[in-house]
């Protein structure tokens, strides 16, 4: 199964991917892979992030060969994978993590706003395919992993409800 692990920066994607790696999953760091494929087509100065040609990258995703592969990136919901896991985190908690990373105030605000308005979830749902959402705020990475493995391959979306609209404006 090919899973896209997505979410706003700082929600815990890399941490969870590390646990999946330990369980024998193949982990694709989409940013690294995009570079290797020549699919990084620019740099967004304002956001301080690479601009990735997701359409080309999506066409290069290998078909499911029966092994468990996780594609980790805030863009992975654009890759046409078998299932998408959206991790969420309370913007108040996320703020501390993003500031600790040294993100600029604009970049922090942009990401917190995206989290508060469910931006990535909406994008993932628009893409089609099965979407699973979990709130990672008060779960250990291990608890999160168990919850995601329990639902994977199921039918229909499995969306844990979050509502941080009261945090706006961030
Ligand atoms: P991402 O890859 O989505 O940017 P990360 O895995 O680098 O996020 O995690 C960001 C920070 O949060 C990092 O310091 C580890 C911590 N963290 C990750 N998952 C967590 C969890 N479930 N509970 C508490 N802290 C977590």
pLDDT in tens, the chain (170 residues): 999 999 999 999 999 999 999 999 999 999 999 999 999 999 988 777 899 999 999 999 999 999 999 999 999 999 999 999 999 999 999 999 999 999 999 999 999 999 999 999 999 999 999 999 999 999 999 999 999 999 999 999 999 999 999 999 99
What pLDDT does residue 67 have? Answer: 97
The pairing of strands 40-44 and 49-52 is: antiparallel
What pLDDT does residue 47 have? Answer: 74
What pLDDT does residue 14 have? Answer: 98
**DSSP 3-state assignment of 80?**
coil
Residue ID of nearest Cα to ligand 1 atom 19: 12
CA of 145 to the centre of ligand 1 (A): 13
CA of 118 to the centre of ligand 1 (A): 18
d(C-alpha 12, C-alpha 140), whole Å: 10
Tokens of 10: 């700082």
d(C-alpha 52, C-alpha 86), whole Å: 19
Pocket test residue of 12, 108, 112 for ligand 1, highest count of atoms within 8 A of CB: 12
Taking a C-beta distance cutoff of 8 angstroms, is the pair 30, 73 a contact? yes
What is the pTM for the complete model shown? 0.97
The pairing of strands 83-88 and 26-29 is: unpaired
**DSSP 3-state assignment of 85?**
strand
Q: What is the DSSP letter of 165?
A: G
């Amino acid at each position: 199964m090919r899973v896209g692990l997505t979410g706003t920066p700082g929600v815990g994607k890399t941490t969870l991917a590390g646990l999946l790696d330990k369980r024998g999953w193949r982990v694709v760091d989409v940013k690294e892979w995009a570079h290797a494929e020549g699919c990084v087509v620019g740099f967004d100065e304002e956001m301080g992030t690479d601009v990735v040609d997701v359409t080309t990258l999506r066409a290069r995703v290998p078909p499911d060969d029966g092994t468990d592969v996780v594609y980790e990136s805030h863009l992975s919901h654009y890759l046409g994978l078998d299932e998408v896991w959206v991790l969420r985190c309370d913007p108040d908690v996320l703020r501390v993590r993003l500031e600790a990373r040294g993100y600029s105030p604009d970049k922090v605000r942009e990401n917190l706003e995206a989290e508060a308005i469910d931006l990535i979830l909406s994008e993932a749902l628009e893409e089609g395919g099965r979407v699973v959402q979990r709130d990672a705020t008060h779960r250990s990475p291990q608890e999160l992993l168990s919850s995601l493995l329990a639902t994977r391959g199921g039918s229909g979306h499995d969306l844990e409800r979050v509502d941080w609209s009261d945090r706006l404006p961030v």
